[in-house]
Structure 1
Amino acid sequence: MSDVAAVLSYARSFDGRVADVLPAAARRVPALRRRVADAGVAPHELIDTASLDRVPILTKDGLLDLQRAEPPFGGVLDPDARISRIFQSPGPLYEAELEGNDHWRWGSALAAAGFTADDVVLNAFGYHLSPAGAMFEEACRALGATVVPGGVGNLDLQVRACADLGVTAYVGLPSYLKALLERAEAAGHDPRAWPLARAFVSAEPLPPSLRTWLAGRVAVVRQGYGTAETGNLGFESSAVDGLHVPDDALVQVCDLSTGAARYDGGDGQVVVTILDARAPVVRFGTGDLSAWATDEAGDASIATPRIRGWLGRVGDAVKVRGMFLHPRQVQQVMTGLDDVDAYRFVVDRVDHRDVLRCELVPAGAADVGALRSAVRERVRSGLRFDVEVTAVGELPDDARITDVR
């Protein structure tokens, strides 16, 4: 149940951890020290969850600004923090994975989906610069499971691996799982006869039609929600109704006007605090909208309340294939193309898969073929997206990014 009392109880369960971690962290971690001082808050005043409302929300753009001012991480780490991996997300934004087990805390989400040490897991999240592949490999290893590091691509080889290795579980994009199973069926395999029994999907929508299609071939399909900066922020239970928030990260739904945490069922921004003294995340605004679920559904064996899932975005950024596309990034990539009079990026969804299209108005004497190639290469190298480029006669005066999904 996720009534007001349950949400308040969940929030207050972090009071002791706030008092134990943040006063010292606010003295040692440069960016947090500045944020707290700018808010007029003394470190010793960070004594409970309620006191966090005094610290302004840090947006993703704000984090980008911190990293540009103090590269590479923006002063968000304790000086003695030990880093095991560094990732790069579009922006570019750099994320540090610290030493230790399951840094991104996805293990509990996989366990709730039935993953165990006996599983052989195909990890189809990307391993190249972005953190998703490593996030879920660490989670699987924390459970003792065996991992096949598939990444994205090479569908034929991954179909063969599933058949040869007896893969029992999958983590990755839901659209990629559909493509994998379709490729298997086209090659003469029957995925229903495989031991593949469970899938945990994330980073893009899972509409009912796609869930039904997948569930006809994989017995258990669960989804989770998180970000590159914060890791696990929510996961489905057996009830498949909303997302239980984790008990090792403070997830709040905050009023869009005041920034204060709200505990009713109203919409707000998902804001996260992670109480790790080595890399404290304090009031990080994901830019996602959600609300607390207020019904009786959910899994009674999971103590944390539920959010209703992804309800939209704050501002103009758009999530495409699990990564955010910001107008500022688009402008940076397109700057300097003299043969383009106007452009916009359109996000569409085809066969349950996000598709990015660039519509542009060429200048009068432009070589359209060369222009298409130049834009594709700029977007691929600058944003790490594949893009369809279409020349059009005119464009409306609207946003640089249009979401028609």
Structure 2
Amino acid sequence: MVREAARRSPAFAARLAEAGIDPASVATSDLDRLPIQSKDDVLALQHATPPFGGLLADDAQPRRIFQSPGPLYEPELTAGDGWRWAPALSAAGFTAADRVLITFGFHLSPAGAMFEAACAEIGAAVIPAGVGAKDLQVAACRDLQISAYIGTPSYLNALLEAADQEGVELGIERAFVTAEPLPPSLRDALQARVPVVRAGYGTAETGHLGHECDQVDGWHVPEDALVQICDITTEVARTDDGEGQLVVTLFETGYPIVRFGTGDLSAWHDQPCPCGAATPRLRGWMGRVGDAVKVRGMFLHPRQVSQVLAGIEGVAAFRVVVERADHRDQLRVELVAGDAPADLTDRVATAVQDGLRFRAEVRLVDALPDDGPVLVDGRTWD
């Protein structure tokens, strides 16, 4: 795979050469010599050599092209269940008899499309709902007898609350949730209403990387991806149960994803799963490497905050604070402004929604720490 990827992808060939790796004789053990590639690294490549940074093979024909915040462009090359989520849905009890409400976005980002493809693989009907218009989604659940849900756990909780306000029993029997942590308190609240709630893990770049079984104790990794837990300092793959960055290699040569650092921390389970599956298990999400924060299923970077807010006239200092209330992420923009124009907070709110894709409360404050971060994660998960 490495040899073929190097032949097809100029940027990947250059990456191997820089690490002193000969693609003609490379072995799996040589991968630890290849520096981990972060999302920021890929973004820098794309900025230097647009649009795909030299990673996309000249003979590759993307079926679709998605845009993630950055902007980062991600080609879809494989037809069918290319992100490989179908086994995770099957493990959660999804079948061809289900009607599935997908509440991930279908606009620019790949989340909605990847789960639609997985549902097609198992033969389930899809309602491509996206986020918002909860009243219409509640009506669809009632009228269409929707039996399954895919989305974030916090949005499922909000949908259940919206149904309660309308006096509607959703009737959802199983849910597959991902893109944000599922703390015990929220899991308990959801399982009081939805009989089966299973969590999974993946990224927009790599697709499915792990899912829960009926033991609900960690994520079984798929067999069609090489998943490593790498030491934060040495970048060498760990074989013990210590914490490290989750690093992924896929086997697609048209757009090589090799030693890709997700930025998420996890660790291996050191005991076999009672379910009997032989695949290794991750112990779940343990935090982030670096400064990026995942908000409502999407990554938010400090540099994005600065790009959006730094040029707004009247703003002397700023920061964005992420908090959590009632199992929902909330953003607050704090501004220092001398003689603030009357419309400053409205202009900032609009800029944040347009540039960061989030609605936020905007608040004027007297001062902010001189050396403080521009993005603060104040959430607790319990």
- TM-score range normalised by the length of the shorter chain: over 0.9
Does the 8 A contact of 1:298 with 1:306 survive in 2? no
Counterpart position of 1:146? 125
Q: Deviations over 1:286-330 (max 9, x none)?
A: 111111111344521x32111111111111111111111111111
Counterpart position of 2:250? 274
Counterpart position of 1:404? 378
For residues 274 and 202 of structure 2, the distance between their equivalents in structure 1, rounded to whole angstroms, comes to: 19
For residues 260 and 118 of structure 2, the distance between their equivalents in structure 1, rounded to whole angstroms, comes to: 22
**Is structure 2 residue 349 aligned with structure 1 residue 376?**
yes
What letter corresponds to residue 106 of structure 2 in structure 1? Y
Residues 41-60 of structure 1 aligned to structure 2 (within 5 Å): 41-48=21-28, 50-60=29-39
Counterpart position of 2:214? 238
Counterpart position of 1:4? none
Does the 8 A contact of 1:171 with 1:199 survive in 2? yes
Among 159, 163, 180, the residue aligned to 2:159:
180
Residues 7-26 of structure 1 aligned to structure 2 (within 5 Å): 21-26=1-6
Among 6, 25, 28, the residue aligned to 2:8:
28
What letter corresponds to residue 72 of structure 1 in structure 2? P
What letter corresponds to residue 350 of structure 2 in structure 1? E
Among 297, 309, 316, the residue aligned to 1:334:
309
Counterpart position of 2:48? 69
**Is structure 2 residue 263 aligned with structure 1 residue 287?**
yes
Deviation of residue 46 (structure 1)? 2.0
Does the 8 A contact of 2:93 with 2:174 survive in 1? yes
Counterpart position of 2:19? 39
Does the 8 A contact of 1:87 with 1:96 survive in 2? yes
What letter corresponds to residue 327 of structure 1 in structure 2? P
Q: Matched residue of 1:377: which SS?
A: helix
For residues 180 and 149 of structure 2, the distance between their equivalents in structure 1, rounded to whole angstroms, comes to: 15
What letter corresponds to residue 359 of structure 1 in structure 2? E
Among 252, 263, 277, the residue aligned to 2:239:
263
Q: Deviations over 1:354-378 (max 9, x none)?
A: 1111111112x221x4111121121
Counterpart position of 1:13? none
Does the 8 A contact of 2:21 with 2:30 survive in 1? no
Report the RMSD for the aligned CA atoms in angstroms. 1.2
For residues 79 and 330 of structure 1, the distance between their equivalents in structure 2, rounded to whole angstroms, comes to: 34
Among 254, 264, 283, the residue aligned to 1:308:
283
Does the 8 A contact of 1:85 with 1:97 survive in 2? yes
Deviates more, 1:57-66 or 1:389-398: 389-398
Percent identical among aligned pairs is 60
For residues 46 and 330 of structure 1, the distance between their equivalents in structure 2, rounded to whole angstroms, comes to: 41
For residues 221 and 13 of structure 2, the distance between their equivalents in structure 1, rounded to whole angstroms, comes to: 28
For residues 387 and 334 of structure 1, the distance between their equivalents in structure 2, rounded to whole angstroms, comes to: 13
Q: Matched residue of 1:43: which SS?
A: coil
Deviation of residue 160 (structure 1)? 0.8
Among 329, 343, 348, the residue aligned to 2:318:
343
Q: Deviations over 1:178-207 (max 9, x none)?
A: 11111112111223xx2x210000111111
Deviates more, 1:79-88 or 1:256-265: 79-88
Which structure exhibits the higher relative contact order, with contacts defined as CA atoms closer than 8 Å and separated by 6 or more residues? 1
What letter corresponds to residue 314 of structure 2 in structure 1? D
Q: TM-score, normalised by structure 2?
A: 0.96
Deviation of residue 99 (structure 1)? 3.5
The answer to which structure has the higher helix fraction is: 1
Among 163, 167, 179, the residue aligned to 1:203:
179
Residues 108-147 of structure 1 aligned to structure 2 (within 5 Å): 108-147=87-126
The answer for unaligned runs of 5 or more in structure 1 is 1-20
For residues 237 and 82 of structure 1, the distance between their equivalents in structure 2, rounded to whole angstroms, comes to: 35
Counterpart position of 1:156? 135
Residues 187-198 of structure 1 aligned to structure 2 (within 5 Å): 187-191=166-170, 194=171, 196-198=172-174
Q: Deviations over 1:79-104 (max 9, x none)?
A: 22221111111111111111411111
Counterpart position of 1:16? none
Among 267, 270, 292, the residue aligned to 1:317:
292
For residues 332 and 182 of structure 1, the distance between their equivalents in structure 2, rounded to whole angstroms, comes to: 36
